[in-house]
Chain A
Amino acid sequence: MKHGRLWLLAAAFAAQLSVPAWTIVDREITLARGESFRFRTTVVDPYDAFRGRYVRVAIADDTVQVEDATLFERPSTAYAAIVLDENGYARFDAVTLEPPESGPYMKVRTSGAGGGGVRLRPPFDRYYMNERLAPEAERVYRDHSGAGGDAYLDVAVRGGNAVIEGLYIEGEPIEAYVRRLTDR
């Protein structure tokens, strides 16, 4: 009985450690070996721009046209192929229920279909920041996002996994940009 409990304790400890450890390893591998893509960002509802200490980020072109939108009527996991536009920014090109055989892709969630298009939710929606810098960062992010904006996300992508490398304003990391503004 006592040995049984010890084994259970050891198994529980291993499981408790393995979940965060695997998350870390998976993200570190993606950051180290993944391909880097630059996504334009858009403004989200300003009242919901911050929850605690993170900037809520969203990709500008998050809708993909498909032939049969009925396949994506219910929210599900899907795979979005990534291509680069003429300015070097990444965008979603196609979405399938199985991973594509070639080319970079990201594992996403679909969040409804309509008008021949499917809306995609990437595996990131927040960028954590220092609490002190957060209010100014919110304002800066809002001013620089959306149509013609120069806010973008660098995202490492590997085997469907995606990890944010940084949020940039005018080519500068948002932390440095905001700190420069507040130090003036």
Chain B
Amino acid sequence: MAYGRVQWLKNELPTLVSAGVLPPESADRLRRHYEARGAGRGRSLALIAFGVLGAKLIGSGLILLIAHNWEALSQGVRAGLALALLLAAQLVTGFAHLRRADSHAWRESTAAFLTLSIGACMALVTQTYNIATAIDDFMLRWLVLALPVVYVTRSRIAAVLYFVGVVWATGAGQGFGERGVILWGLLAAIAPFLVALTRETGGARGKALVFWAAALAAPLASLFVVPRLLGDAWAVFYAALFAGMVALEARGSSDDAPLWQRPLTIVGALGASCVGLALTFGDLWRSVDLPASGLHEGPWFTLPVTWVLTSLLLLGASTAATRRLLERRWGLGLLYALPLLTGLGYATALGGGEGGTQSVVANVYVFALGLAALLSGLARDRLVLANGGMALLSLLFLFRFVDADLTLLLRGVAFIVIGVAFLGMNVRLLWTRKEARP
């Protein structure tokens, strides 16, 4: 149970006892039960934190000691030390895996140490022999060698480091140049771990950490690859990606889960809103063209893999949209419909034209999406959802006001109206909650 809920329950116990709902001995047992769990959790977190910190300090100290005499060492000795560092990391990771399998602290700290040692060893060898290696090639080798650490140790920190590495490699290597398709391989390679993680019980914080990293890494890394590969069709991919993220999490987690445990939903909904808002600008639909060259420069499978991936995401999102709209869940249905609408808009804009129709449809769509989120939030007493819908509507109005070249007075009035609407909605929601309390 979440820490906040435990605190709430502990605060409620005296009231429940005095009202005769709960016998005093049961209240004591409940208190002791949650205090013991809370203490264990605190110890475990502290152990992980100090374990990782200790490994980092020892590693840094050793590096400083060696670095002091680095220049005086021969190439062979330097290379040997680099290998020794990696071997030591493997030994402690192996020990943790075989002898301390139940300890989160051992697992996380040794896996993090090994992941970083792989990169450090390769960097030292590269430096020792003055080897010219492009940063993306270097990172790619590091990621490939570090991925098994994630699978074998099931370490959350190693998985997070992997996602950080994917973004770093893609960004530093300018999306791997002509080999942008590598990104899909890197993300697909860790997908089975994510699927297995959803099936594990407990450890909500660790799970959330990994999924936050995944939710942020996929769109961020794609920024360096997708515009080059897909040209003007980037919006189709991003619409499908964000809608797919929301759909994935909707299958596995309940609506009651706290927001920090739903990273795919949050990043997906925010991303889809941004894509929707971007599509409302007429300029985006002008001179839309097929991908210029990116898809044809890479290996032969770049084009089919990219299109199959986009089509699958498109198909999945469209099916989910139809289902949700039939269930009258308008907000989710509209969000899942974004990839289909974007794809249709792109296909119809290919022939040329000013993109006026597509832009109008996008405006209507974003308005409907914002309104559906707002009404759904109000009906289900969800402040975040209602405010999200209101924010989307406000941004749409503000963008159109900017486009329309209105006077400062009118813009000022618009800002005030939007502000009043925000305040009014929140006051109403809070008032409804107050009234609902006994």
Interface 1/0 per residue, A3-19 and B, CB below 8 Å:
00110110111011101
B132 x A21 contact (CB < 8 A): no
Q: Please judge, given known A-B contacts A16-B145, A123-B131, A163-B130, whether A9 and B83 are in contact too, CB under 8 Å.
A: no
- Give bound CA distance, A153 to B94, whole Å: 43
Q: Is B87 an interface residue (CB 8 A)?
A: yes
B76 x A28 contact (CB < 8 A): yes
Q: Which of A8, A15, A124 contacts B132 (CB 8 A)?
A: A124
B130 x A124 contact (CB < 8 A): yes
Interface residues of A in 141-159 (CB under 8 A from B): none
- Give bound CA distance, A127 to B129, whole Å: 9
- Give bound CA distance, A21 to B151, whole Å: 23
B131 x A12 contact (CB < 8 A): no
Tell me the minimal C-beta distance from B116 to chain A in angstroms: 12
Q: Is B90 an interface residue (CB 8 A)?
A: yes
A19 x B122 contact (CB < 8 A): yes
Tell me the minimal C-beta distance from A70 to chain B in angstroms: 17
Q: Please judge, given known A-B contacts A9-B94, A13-B90, A15-B148, whether A20 and B132 are in contact too, CB under 8 Å.
A: no
> How many A residues have CB within 8 A of the partner chain?
31
Q: Is A96 an interface residue (CB 8 A)?
A: no
Q: Which residues of A lie under 8 Å from residue B361 when comparing CB positions? A: none
Q: Which residues of B lie under 8 Å from residue A11 when comparing CB positions? A: 148
Q: Which residues of B lie under 8 Å from residue A8 when comparing CB positions? A: 148, 151-152
Q: Is B86 an interface residue (CB 8 A)?
A: yes
Q: Which residues of B lie under 8 Å from residue A54 when comparing CB positions? A: 127, 130
Interface 1/0 per residue, B101-125 and A, CB below 8 Å:
0000000000000100010011001
Q: Is B79 an interface residue (CB 8 A)?
A: yes
Q: Is B246 an interface residue (CB 8 A)?
A: no
Q: Which residues of A lie under 8 Å from residue B152 when comparing CB positions? A: 5, 8-9, 12
Q: Which residues of B lie under 8 Å from residue A19 when comparing CB positions? A: 122, 141, 145
Interface residues of A in 131-146 (CB under 8 A from B): none
Interface 1/0 per residue, B226-243 and A, CB below 8 Å:
000000000000000000
B83 x A20 contact (CB < 8 A): yes
- Give bound CA distance, A22 to B44, whole Å: 40
> How many B residues have CB within 8 A of the partner chain?
31
Q: Please judge, given known A-B contacts A20-B121, A24-B83, A126-B132, whether A12 and B149 are in contact too, CB under 8 Å.
A: yes
Tell me the minimal C-beta distance from B151 to chain A in angstroms: 7
Consensus secondary structure, chain B interface: helix
Tell me the minimal C-beta distance from B135 to chain A in angstroms: 10
Q: Is B82 an interface residue (CB 8 A)?
A: yes
- Give bound CA distance, A13 to B88, whole Å: 11
Q: Is A89 an interface residue (CB 8 A)?
A: no
Nearest-CB residue, chain B, relative to A12:
B148
Q: Which of B86, B90, B93 contacts A20 (CB 8 A)?
A: B86
Q: Is B324 an interface residue (CB 8 A)?
A: no
Q: Is A80 an interface residue (CB 8 A)?
A: no
Q: Which of B86, B90, B129, B145 contacts A27 (CB 8 A)?
A: B129
Q: Which residues of A lie under 8 Å from residue B93 when comparing CB positions? A: 9
Q: Which residues of B lie under 8 Å from residue A163 when comparing CB positions? A: 129-130
Q: Which residues of A lie under 8 Å from residue B127 when comparing CB positions? A: 54, 128
Q: Please judge, given known A-B contacts A9-B94, A13-B90, whether A23 and B149 are in contact too, CB under 8 Å.
A: no
Q: Is B71 an interface residue (CB 8 A)?
A: yes
Q: Is B97 an interface residue (CB 8 A)?
A: yes
B132 x A130 contact (CB < 8 A): no
Tell me the minimal C-beta distance from A139 to chain B in angstroms: 20
- Give bound CA distance, A28 to B129, whole Å: 9
A124 x B131 contact (CB < 8 A): yes
Q: Which residues of A lie under 8 Å from residue B132 when comparing CB positions? A: 121-126
Q: Which residues of B lie under 8 Å from residue A124 when comparing CB positions? A: 130-132
A15 x B130 contact (CB < 8 A): no
Tell me the minimal C-beta distance from B302 to chain A in angstroms: 14
Tell me the minimal C-beta distance from A148 to chain B in angstroms: 25
Q: Which residues of A lie under 8 Å from residue B149 when comparing CB positions? A: 12
Tell me the minimal C-beta distance from A55 to chain B in angstroms: 10
Interface residues of B (CB under 8 A from A): 71, 75-76, 79, 82-83, 86-87, 90, 93-94, 97-98, 114, 118, 121-122, 125-132, 141, 145, 148-149, 151-152
Cβ contacts A to B, 28 pairs, < 8 Å: A8-B148, A8-B152, A9-B93, A12-B149, A12-B152, A16-B90, A17-B83, A17-B90, A19-B122, A19-B141, A19-B145, A20-B83, A20-B121, A21-B83, A23-B122, A23-B125, A23-B126, A27-B131, A28-B76, A28-B79, A31-B75, A54-B130, A122-B132, A124-B132, A126-B132, A163-B129, A163-B130, A164-B129
Q: Which 8 A-B pairs give the minimum distances between C-beta atoms? A: A12-B148, A125-B132, A24-B79, A27-B129, A164-B130, A9-B152, A20-B125, A13-B90
